[in-house]
Structure 1
Amino acid sequence: MRRRAFALAGLLPAVILAACAADPRELVGQPPRVVFFEVDSVDLDEPAQAVLADAARLARRHPQVPVQVRGYAGPAGGAAFNRELSQRRAQQVADELIKRGVAASRIQVVGRGPVPFDSVPIESRRVEVIIGYP
């Protein structure tokens, strides 16, 4: 009996290492994955789908780290409307990540609302996917 327990104990580190995902250092310095939206829209177009496929692949490689989905909206249309729109955009992205195999329990959805805008309007109509946020 002792001999079998020792043999199993010797396998344990190998099993643990095999079960581990990719090296978490891969996430250091990773920029957020960004999805852009049309005015007053929560629809995910083809470029957004490609970004989310990449984000989901990375998140699945690191199942131990949290994922934050931050939605933003432009300043036009009023603060209350844009807070709700940014939340809906973030939830739409989170739902797509879940469909692509990321556990819902790992995802924090945040609607940031309207963003003061200085340059290109589309930059404010976005959702950021941050994998391994602090």
Structure 2
Amino acid sequence: MRRRTLFAAAPILLAAACTSAPPPLPPIAVFFTADSATLEPEALEVVAGAAQRAKATTGPVLVLGFAGPAGGVAYNVALSEARAQQVSDQLVRNGVARERIRIIPRGPVPFESIATESRRVEIRIDG
């Protein structure tokens, strides 16, 4: 009798284990022009959408800044931080609590398949 009870509970335990951790959401990319930390109108729309998604969760919001490899390392680290700060500030303006946001400047990265892909900020929302 005891075995039957254990096997009857197994599907419930398995279902609970599978639903406890949702899969991570894919990062949202915000792109910039060369040597700029200015959010263009299209980027503002992307950040607004990310803010809506972030407000639907309770987890942390990571804002990772990137820059291309052209120019000095110190310049590109500062540029990647400025880009991440602009996105963070815009997320706050769109209703995301500042204490949920963590800025991580990544600095220069090699050009990817398209040069503009290196000039980006990634927003990662853990939910």
Q: What TM-score, normalized to structure 1?
A: 0.76
- Give 2:70's aligned amino acid: A
CA distance in 2, matches of 1:80, 1:58: 33
> 1:104 is matched with which residue?
98
Does residue 88 of structure 1 match 2:82? Answer: yes
RMSD: 2.0
> 2:33 is matched with which residue?
38
> 2:124 is matched with which residue?
130
- 8 Å CA contact 2:24–2:126 kept in 1: the answer is no
Runs of 5+ in structure 1 lacking a partner?
1-23
Residues 50-102 of structure 1 deviation map (CA, whole Å, 9 limit, x = unaligned): 1111100011111x200000000000011110000000000000000000000
CA distance in 2, matches of 1:83, 1:31: 24
- Give 2:62's aligned amino acid: Q
Q: Secondary structure at the match of 2:117?
A: helix
Shift of 1:119: 2.4
> 1:49 is matched with which residue?
44
Percent identical pairs in the alignment equals 50
> 2:71 is matched with which residue?
77
Q: Which has the higher contact order (CA 8 A, sep 6+)?
A: 2
- Give 1:80's aligned amino acid: A
> 2:55 is matched with which residue?
60
Residues 5-51 of structure 1 deviation map (CA, whole Å, 9 limit, x = unaligned): xxxxxxxxxxxxxxxxxxx98x6242111100001101111111111
